Structure 1
């Protein structure tokens, strides 16, 4: 027996029935791909299917589609994004990066009820692990919904704001745009606020403007997309900032930040106030992170991270919870 490569429930092999349904429309996709991980002799084929970069531009993404029960690299009709272990020497614990992202996405979904993209772990033929996520913008009939991230929505590009353009902004700014574009703004703002806190607690210092998006539904209305690209990035880039964006303009001049040198509950409550979220609702969302620690620790233990990385993951979470309570 083993833990499901999707949700960690106990299975004989691969994925449980529910994860097979959510990820692969019930198809019996094996836990091992039919091709090896990218390396010197096959890199050209992979590069033809490469997507955007993340984690400081060193983590590659590849487009994949399903043909019957098999996943194949694809430059058209891609249904999935595949992220292998990065060959870059810029990342610490690079072998654990795929499972780090998978675990963080599962914690978001299972523990905190955050709407997140379907995801799992999968292995190449040579047994190297990869993270796989199903594209939420691709409809069952193959049609794509229009998706715009907040770098696009704020008209930030390399040409207009420099090479670090996706880090040039605040979470308050994203929230104000959600108010402008999303008809059901209040629940969307609460989802967004919860996600900002989640990224802080789980040390995702790469939650920049391109890691939040709106999607235009077939009705013509805009919705906040499911969460994606969640991971404890500090494990791989330990000298990064606590957050990719400031909470709000001038947040580092708050009484709490000036006293402690990091964000605390008062700073997140100020963000909630600026977004128009009812204080009692915001406080409950913050407090849920204190009360669900044991559930989170259970998933960390069930995960496929190495023992050393599990310890780092727990330690970073506990440190951020301590800060959130300050």
Structure 2
């Protein structure tokens, strides 16, 4: 059977490499010791709930590793757990596998920086997506992290309920130039994320799904990519991109053919400051 993290052939559970990345080498069972939040008694979850997307309806829980087992926790969380979401979207039972596979493709095929992640199972055998937090230091304290809505000082009070979708990716790139010292490297990583999201139809890649984090040196850098999934699997009418590429609106070619082309991404890359020869290499 495949490793439930990297998907490579393995005897059972997680391979040694993934155990090291996820759990510090400890052998952890992929079977959790508690039921899903939708089982008969879910009171244990009441104090652990936070709402996030798929379009604002998915639920996540905080876990920590205690004596060789993953347990729900109110503080000091080391992992985020996402069970099958509820709602009116299609094929939601596939959401954990969708996010896990998309994140693995991002890492293994496209070379994106993503946090260690895996599939786990509740005691009722329903799957959930597990991802290791990247905003925790070795001593357990939290790193200073801000998403791009915070960086742009955008809230629902100041910009309306749709504020997460009010910037373009070009405008987000300008924020990277302003706040991230090593911005040439960050811009290329950002561009690769946008291209990946388009290729895999992630219509939920809004401003809150990109963040900057303060390093131990005191400067800021882009966080690993997170919340990557094919949203069209669950919402076929969803856009292939959450935001416009360009600040001025859609490129002319997009208006003509109804989808982004090689030239659109070349134009976007050049506008945000990536050298044309680097763009050609990235786009292949």
Q: Same fold (TM over 0.5)?
A: yes
CA distance in 2, matches of 1:21, 1:53: 28
Aligned to 1:87: 86
- SS of equivalent to 2:52: coil
- SS of equivalent to 2:226: coil
Is 1:29 aligned to 2:31, yes or no? no
Count of residues paired in the alignment: 284
1:279-294 correspondence runs (5 A): 279-287=276-284
CA distance in 2, matches of 1:12, 1:119: 18
Report how far residue 111 of structure 1 moved: 0.7
Contact 1:206 1:233 in 2 (8 A): yes
TM-score (norm 1): 0.85
Contact 1:204 1:233 in 2 (8 A): yes
1:67-146 correspondence runs (5 A): 67-88=66-87, 90-146=88-144
CA distance in 2, matches of 1:263, 1:47: 43
- SS of equivalent to 1:64: strand
Report how far residue 40 of structure 1 moved: 5.5
Aligned to 2:202: 204
CA distance in 1, matches of 2:201, 2:44: 34
List alignment gaps of at least 5 residues for structure 1: 288-326
CA distance in 2, matches of 1:119, 1:52: 20
Contact 1:251 1:257 in 2 (8 A): no
Contact 1:251 1:267 in 2 (8 A): no
CA distance in 1, matches of 2:65, 2:167: 37
Report how far residue 100 of structure 1 moved: 0.5
CA distance in 2, matches of 1:16, 1:211: 29
Greater per-residue helix proportion = 1
Report how far residue 265 of structure 1 moved: 1.3
RMSD: 1.1
CA distance in 2, matches of 1:20, 1:108: 20
CA distance in 2, matches of 1:125, 1:83: 15
TM-score (norm 2): 0.97
Report how far residue 167 of structure 1 moved: 1.2
**For each residue in 1:273-308, what CA deviation from the matched residue of structure 2 results, as whole angstroms up to 9, or x when unmatched?**
111101121122122xxxxxxxxxxxxxxxxxxxxx
CA distance in 2, matches of 1:239, 1:154: 28
